[in-house]
Amino acid sequence: MGENGLVQGRYRLLDLIGRGGMGEVWRARDECLGRQVAVKRLKPLGPHHDPALGGVLRERFRREARVAAALSHRGVTVVHDFGEDGGVPYLVMELLRGRDLSRLLEDGRGHPLPVDAVADIAGQTAVALAYTHRQGVVHRDLKPANIVLLTDGTVKICDFGIARLGDDIGFTARLTGTGVALGTPHYMSPEQIGGDEVDRRSDLYSLGCVLYEIATGVPPFDLEDAWAILIGHRDTTPRPPRELRPELPAYLDRIILDLLAKRPAERPYDADELSGRIQDGRAGAALPPRGLYGAQELSGRIQDGRAGAAVPPPGPYGRSEPSHPLRAAVVPTFPFSPPGPPGEGRLPSWSRGMSTGHKAVGAGLRALPPDPGAALTGRWAEPATLPTDPSTRALAPRAARHHEGARPAGQGRGPDADLAHPAVPADRAALRGPHQPEVLAERHDAAVELLRCGRAAEALAAFGEVAGGWARLLGAEHPETLAARHEVAVALLRCDRATEALAAFGEVAEDRGRVLGLDHPDTLASRQETAYALGRLGRHAEARRIYHEVLDARERTMGPEHPDTLRCKHNLACALGRLGRPADARRLAGEVAAARTRLLGPDHPDTLASRCEVAYAQGQSGHWEEALHIYREVARTRARVLGADHPDTLAARYETALSLGRLGRSTDALGVYRDLIVDRTRVQGPTHPETLRARHGLGVHLGRLGHWEDALSEAGDVCALRERLLGADHPDTLVSRREVAVALGWLGRWADALGAYRRVAATRERTLGPDHPDTLAARDDEAHCRERLGRTPEAGEAARGVTVRRRPHRSNSP
């Protein structure tokens, strides 16, 4: 297999992104599904290695595949495939975009991470460990290199190469009998070192070592000699982290020390208890919410010196200089030569000759011979960019209900300083040429970042440049050019230019069909986005037809339970709901929810999105009690799995308030809206569209409870903000203007109300057409207002006009 060869005829290797003693990881492209993945391969040992060692490493590799493939959680790396190619085992995983904690510490030259980032990483890792432990899986090699912080702030655990399933007895003996170390010395628990039984609390000890290091800049026992490190873990109490970093909160200091207790019984009982302690401590310390930083921003903060480390920088080889206070405290108690035969109080035989492995800090260690037991210690994640894969769903716009997986623009970390100019620096472009592949790829990545940060207009311009560059370099119909054109259409949608996006998606879908084939995943992706754009324009019948066709093709080529098939089926359910067919929508959404529950688990975000669509269809059918029950359950689950401040959690809370309103429980709805406004303002800002939507709901229920002056004030404020931010003709602005008119009418100010109603009707007629249902509803409002003003003949004439226009609309409705 060459560097550009195919693995199993399917995975094209692109570039090497990680290497260790056991294997290597490549960025690759799945030629079948058209997505980028990470391919991990076991390196051949060569003719001079012990065959027994090769057999054990193969078993460890297969074990990782079996264990990781059975796990499905946002905090655990997803495994897609496993097999052997030319006698070399390989593992196909999701391609992570971010940096592992080892790399983050190296970026900061050994300085610790910000306190709030330490707490965030601790909380997310505890949640992920709680899940794996519930599945009976103990990781056994938790270390900074195996914990990745993605660009969006998500923390993921990877490398389950020596994980142990609860029912797998004898695996430890088979590995230790060959002299292969289980774990890395800087992060091994005392029971691992002593060869005793290992359970979930060993992972908690290793997590304590990781947290100690990212909080202080050094491991608990920072020594060159592997024996000294192992004995330190076994026999010596670590120095409290706050002595090395005084600004560390007391609760975090206490948690880390508890995790590092020598006896497992003295540590937190399990990761669930740990997660609760972290949440309680963060609340008391008033730290920011989870997911505050992505890997790139955090690395930038560390490099800029804002982390405020209270420990000396590391020595030239990543270890502390002899004057380090921790070293002075522990060195005298350690024997620096191997003890005699194993026995009580001794280290196990497999630790003889062991190197210290790769601790997180310092580039110098990378020159040392790799420890065969350390698995991969290089970068597990690609540099902090987002995928270039044209079929990647992260680039596609998502709207609540209609298109699953909503992620409002601007969520996650803020834009980086270098995003002000998304193009590659001029000097680099001049050296390599403005249209060289690597330059275009970097321009693309910068455009993706702009789009993710909500700067859609700038992203659109950048994607246009990339598409033009690929067209000049490779031709107008090359797959790379078509992929860039697809992303131009995505950016058009984010700019609320749905008509232009529809045309762009249609052209790309036609060209992809001709070049790649009608059933190619990229062609189907563009067709599916075409349907989504149609839905954004209110053309749901046309969207439904395309969704049906794409779903048939996906079921035929990928199978009925492929993730892309289920996603399309979900979108079809959404379209049916918008066409007033709630029974069909509920049936389809229910089927998707059941399949996702079975395949992904009941708490998976995609499963919860489908449950929300079931709830929406229930509400459309008038079953608001059932809808309310589902929305509440989803909101609670999302808060537990994704976090209380996650956009999806907030969206489910909004739907809960909406359902309470539909049930006439305005007082309850008012309370939910008030709390939601506070949280959305804190998380997303006071002018975010979703914050304004919650404020609109608050105004509606103030009116329903008879507080019309307050309702008018709220509606007026929201209307003014929406007009300034979205434009006078935006549908949300018009909805708010109508609410102003309603409040004016209830306050007896019918002349003022008539002016507002007429403005809404005229704008809708101009933008939507005279026969659109929303236009006719506005004309009805206008007629009612004229009647209240005593202008009965005008009101009657207006009402008759609406009736005449509605008749053909009804006869042509699907």
Q: Which residues are catalytically annotated?
A: 141
Distance CA 406, CA 400 (A): 6
- Tell me how far the alpha carbon of residue 568 is from its chain's centroid: 20
Q: What is the DSSP letter of 10?
A: T
Evaluate whether 628 touches 663 at the Cβ level (below 8 Å): yes
Distance CA 505, CA 503 (A): 6
Count of alpha carbons within 13 angstroms of residue 80, beta-carbon side: 19
Distance CA 414, CA 23 (A): 35
745, burial (CB in 10 Å: exposed 0-12, middle 13-18, buried 19+): buried
Distance CA 633, CA 790 (A): 49
Evaluate whether 276 touches 120 at the Cβ level (below 8 Å): no
Distance CA 77, CA 646 (A): 20
Q: What angle do CA 331, 337, 340 make, to 5 degrees?
A: 125
Classify residue 449 as left (phi > 0), alpha (psi -120 to 50) or beta.
alpha
| Sequence letter at residue 734 | L
**Which residue stretches of 621-728 are H helix?**
624-641, 647-662, 666-684, 689-704, 708-726
Four-residue CA torsion sign, 721, 722, 724, 728: negative
Classify residue 416 as left (phi > 0), alpha (psi -120 to 50) or beta.
beta
Four-residue CA torsion sign, 639, 644, 647, 653: positive
Q: Is 262 annotated as a binding residue?
A: no
Parallel, antiparallel or unpaired: strands 147-150 and 88-94: unpaired
Which residues share a beta bridge with 28? 13, 37
CA terminus-to-terminus distance, the chain: 55
Q: Characterize 35-47 residue by residue with b for buried, 16 or more Cβ atoms within 10 angstroms of its Cβ, and e for exposed.
A: bbbbbbbbeeeee
Query: At a CB cut-off of 8 Å and minimum separation 6, what does 644 contact?
Result: 289, 679
Look up residue 414 and give its two tokens.
């803020």
Evaluate whether 447 touches 422 at the Cβ level (below 8 Å): yes
Evaluate whether 533 touches 498 at the Cβ level (below 8 Å): yes
Query: At a CB cut-off of 8 Å and minimum separation 6, what does 199 contact?
Result: 138, 264
Site of tokens 């053309």: 539
Distance CA 436, CA 42 (A): 33
Look up residue 530 and give its two tokens.
């075409």
Evaluate whether 291 touches 120 at the Cβ level (below 8 Å): yes
Evaluate whether 145 touches 358 at the Cβ level (below 8 Å): yes
Distance CA 308, CA 295 (A): 18
**Which residues make up each annotated binding site?**
40
**Which residues make up each annotated binding site for ATP?**
40
